[in-house]
Amino acid sequence: MRVKVEDLIREIPELAREFVGFENLGGGLCNETYKVQTKHKAYVLRINSRQNEYLNLTRRSEIEVMKKAQREGFSPQVIAGDHPEHYVVTEFIEGRILEKGDLVDENIKTMIMDHLKIIHRMEGQGRICTPYDLIHGYLKGADSFQVKRPDGLNRLLNRIEKIAHQRSNDKAYNNKFCHNDSFLVNMIYTGDRLQIIDWELSGIGDVFFELTLIPFTNQFSEAEEREWLRLYLGYFEEEAFHIFQDMKYVSMVREVAWGLFYSGLTKDDKHHDFDYYKFAEYCIEQIKQGIYQL
């Protein structure tokens, strides 16, 4: 693998000039990501997985979104994006990935919300990627790999359809542009700025789905969830809280579908040691117990 990565680096002019070395950045279960060091600068090389083939999202439109976000000031600059189906090169941002402990910092939480609000106002993007598109795209992909659907999945999907119908009437917070992958691991804090990476799932979606992603992966208490909504909306109301709970359910089912898809996509991939199918089964068990958190 190291030889193949270095071969690719030497084919990319921006990286090949004064190339010094590279290292695996890790942290991702989908794409392969490397820090590439040249004599004067560092870059990030992301070698893309095949998931977008199954989600009807083009890598080229992702590049355009990344460039727009960079102009807004909170996404790394795209250095090389001429072959987006295969890879993309961005500037390397010196900083650290946010962690759960950072969420006690009111300044950081405000920065997260301010960035999300700007994203949700982004216009002129033709990409559509609702949480329901993600679920059905991943399941269609899993079916193409002949992955066995776990018991109880159809019951979960029936509720998803009901939630999708209920959300279709929301003109204020549905059908807005969303990052759709705004977990803490995709946020880099530089000390005074917050940069958001990994825009491959971005598209027109549901703001409330976006708002669940950090709480449901960081075990927020009910009081913390209420405060999270208040921080974004500027107020709190019970109806919004109920919508939030429904979308946490949607987020959990998305995780199930994602796990099933990647169990098929990586079944012959020897360098993956994560058991995606067991992860999907774990998520289903959590849902059965009424636990919508990871």
pLDDT at 29: 64
Domains and CATH numbers, the chain: 2-94 (3.30.200.20), 97-288 (3.90.1200.10)
Q: In this predicted model, which residue has the larger pLDDT, 52 or 230?
A: 230
pLDDT at 28: 62
- Are 262 and 30 a contacting pair, CB within 8 Å? yes
pLDDT tens digit sequence for 135-173: 999 999 999 999 999 999 999 999 999 999 999 999 999
pLDDT at 53: 85
| Amino acid in the structure at residue 183 | F
Span 26-37, mean pLDDT? 82
Mean pLDDT lowest among 24-28, 38-42, 192-196, 237-241: 24-28
pLDDT at 280: 97
The pTM of this model reads 0.93
Is a pLDDT exceeding 70 seen at residue 224? yes
| 154's tokens | 């159809």
pLDDT tens digit sequence for 45-72: 999 888 888 898 888 999 999 999 999 9
- Are 116 and 203 a contacting pair, CB within 8 Å? no
pLDDT at 50: 83
pLDDT tens digit sequence for 101-129: 999 999 999 999 999 999 999 987 778 99
pLDDT tier, 292 (very low <50, low <70, confident <90, very high otherwise): very high
Q: Quick one: how far is CA 39 from the chain centroid?
A: 32
The b-or-e profile of 37-46 (16+ CB within 10 A means b, else e) is bbeeeebbbb
Is a pLDDT exceeding 80 seen at residue 270? no
Q: Quick one: how far is CA 113 from the chain centroid?
A: 16
pLDDT tier, 267 (very low <50, low <70, confident <90, very high otherwise): confident
Q: How does DSSP assign the chain, residue by residue?
A: -HHHHHHHHHHSHHHHTTEEEEEE----SSSEEEEEEESS-EEEEEE--STHHHHT--HHHHHHHHHHHHHHTSSPPEEE-SSTTTEEEEEPPPSEE--GGGGG-HHHHHHHHHHHHHHHT--S---B--HHHHHHHHHHHHHHTTPPPPTTHHHHHHHHHHHHHHHTT-TTTEEEEE-S---GGGEEE-SS-EEE---TT-EEEEHHHHHHHHHHHTT--HHHHHHHHHHHHSS--HHHHHHHHHHHHHHHHHHHHHHHHHHHHTTT-TT----HHHHHHHHHHHHHTT----
First to last CA, the chain: 32
Indicate the average pLDDT of the chain: 93
